[in-house]
Amino acid sequence: MQISKIVSQLQPSETLAAAAKARELRAQGIDVLGFTVGEPDFNTPAHIRQAAIAAMEAGHTRYTAATGIPELKQAICDQAMDLHGVAWKPSQVTVSNGAKHCLHNVLLTCCEPGDEVIIPTPYWVSYAALVELVGAVPVLVTTNEEDNFCLTPEQFQAAITPKTRLIMLNSPSNPTGGVYPAAALQTIAEIAVEHDLIVLSDEIYDRLIYAGHEFRSFASLGEAVKERTIIVNGVSKTYAMTGWRIGWTLAPENISAAINRLQSQQTSNPCSISQYAAIEAIRGPQDCVADMLKLFTERRDYVIGRLREIPGVSFAEPGGAFYVFFNVSHYFGKPLGGGDSVSNSTEFCTALLERAHVALVTGDAFGAPGYVRLSFAAGMDELSRGMDAIRKFLEG
C-alpha cells in the first residue's frame, strides 16, 4: 500500500524515540537513568483525580460539545484574567486533545501551502514537522546562548518575507527553559503588528517560573497585539496531567470559529472525564502548583550547580519549565566513557546511553547542533546518580 509523500517524509518525535531506546535497555535488565520525556514525575493531585471519579459517577461519560463543555471554557477564561489580566470570552476558546492537537489546529486553520512560518531555534521537536504537515514552510532562525536563546528584533525583521504568515513563540521554552523578558516580547509584538503577522504563542509552561524571572502572556501586550495572537495552553505541565490530554487555544473570534469547524470534523470531543478534571484543576486549590514548583526549583538549582563544575560545558540558565539545555561540543573528537570519540550531539547521546546508561535528547532534534537536553523532572537521587554518570563519561 502506498503511503502519502508528506507522511513518508515525516520523522518520529526524537524525545519519544529517546525514551523508547531507554525502555529497550531497561527491558534487558540495564539500570537506565532517563531524563528525556517532558512531563512532571508527580502523580496528578488527589483533588483532581477525585473530580474525575465524581464525573464518572455522575454519568459524564457521553459525548460533549466537540470543542469542550461551557463550564471548562468559562474556567479557562477566568484563569486567563486572574493570572494574566487578559479578557477572553468562552466563544474564543477551543478545548482540544492536548496542546499538540491545538498547534496542529492553528497551523491548519491559518496557513496555506507555501506560507512561511518563522520558528526561533532551538524549538520544540514537533513545531517544524507540524508546519510541514500543512504544506507550509518552516523558517528556522538560530538564536544564541548569549541572548538566552531569545529571538532578537533584528533576527525577526530579517526573517520576514512577503510569504511570512505566522511566527511561533514558546516562553518558557522547551528545550531551553528560557523566558522572554517583557520588553523583548513588546518589540516582537510591534514588528508583528507592523507586518500584519499572526503570533502563535505556546504558553504551556506559564506557571513554572523560577525566581528572578517573570512570565508575560503575549496577548497582554495591547489590544492590537491580542487581535493577532493565538494562545496555546493546557493542564499537562502545570498540574501533572500529561496523560489526561486537555489543551486549549484562546484566539480571535473568527480564528476560534474556524478552529471549531475544523475540530468538529476531526474528533467528537476531548475526553469528557478529563474535561471535568481540568475544571477542578483550574478552579480548585492551587497549592499543588506551588509545591511542584518548589521541588522543580531545588532540582534545577542542583543540576545547574553540577553542570557549572564540568569544564567546557555551557548553558543559559533556565528561567522556567523543567529543562536545562547545555553545550557539549567541547567534548567532540575526544574519547568518552571508555570508548571512541563522537562528532555530534546525536552520537554523543547514543554513546552516553550505551556506555553510561544515561538518556538525554540530542540538540539536533531541536535545531541546535552541539547541545543536549536534560529534563530534571526526576527525583533527586536519580538526578544525583545521573550527574555523577555524566561527569564520569565526560572524563573519558
Are residues 209 and 236 part of one domain?
A: yes
Are residues 350 and 307 part of one domain?
A: yes
Are residues 161 and 29 part of one domain?
A: no
Are residues 95 and 13 part of one domain?
A: no
Are residues 133 and 21 part of one domain?
A: no
Are residues 150 and 82 part of one domain?
A: yes
Mean model confidence pLDDT for the chain: 96
- List, for residues 60-91, the tens digit of each pLDDT value: 999 999 999 999 999 999 999 999 999 999 99
- List, for residues 287-299, the tens digit of each pLDDT value: 999 999 999 999 9
pLDDT at 26 over 90: no
Domain boundary among 283, 306, 324: 283
pTM of the model: 0.95
pLDDT at 25 over 80: no
Are residues 131 and 157 part of one domain?
A: yes
Q: Which residues pair with 270 in a beta bridge?
A: none
Q: Which domain holds residue 132?
A: 46-283
Q: What pLDDT is recorded for position 369?
A: 97
State percent of the chain over pLDDT 90.
Answer: 91
Are residues 38 and 157 part of one domain?
A: no
Are residues 296 and 277 part of one domain?
A: no
| CATH number, position 299 | 3.90.1150.10
Q: What pLDDT is recorded for position 396?
A: 79
Q: What pLDDT is recorded for position 57?
A: 98
Domain boundary among 225, 250, 283: 283
Are residues 356 and 330 part of one domain?
A: yes
Are residues 95 and 31 part of one domain?
A: no
* Residue 142 neighbours by CB under 8 Å, 6+ apart: 121, 367, 368
What is the rounded average pLDDT of the residues 331-339? 96
The total number of structural domains in the chain stands at: 2
Q: Spell out a b/e string for 117-153, using b for 16 or more CB atoms within 10 Å of the CB, else e.
A: bbbbbbbbbbbbebbbbbebbbbebebebeebbbbbe
- List, for residues 226-257, the tens digit of each pLDDT value: 999 999 999 999 999 999 999 999 999 999 99
Q: What pLDDT is recorded for position 31?
A: 85
State percent of the chain over pLDDT 70.
Answer: 99
- List, for residues 306-319, the tens digit of each pLDDT value: 999 999 999 999 99
Which strand ranges, in their side-by-side order, compose the sheet holding 164-170? 93-96, 247-250, 229-234, 198-202, 164-170, 116-121, 137-142
The alpha carbon of residue 263 and the mean position of all alpha carbons in its chain are separated, in whole angstroms, by: 22
Are residues 51 and 39 part of one domain?
A: no
Domain boundary among 283, 301, 334: 283
> Taking a C-beta distance cutoff of 8 angstroms, is the pair 174, 377 a contact?
no
In the block, residue with C-alpha cell 510541514: 132
pLDDT at 15 over 90: no
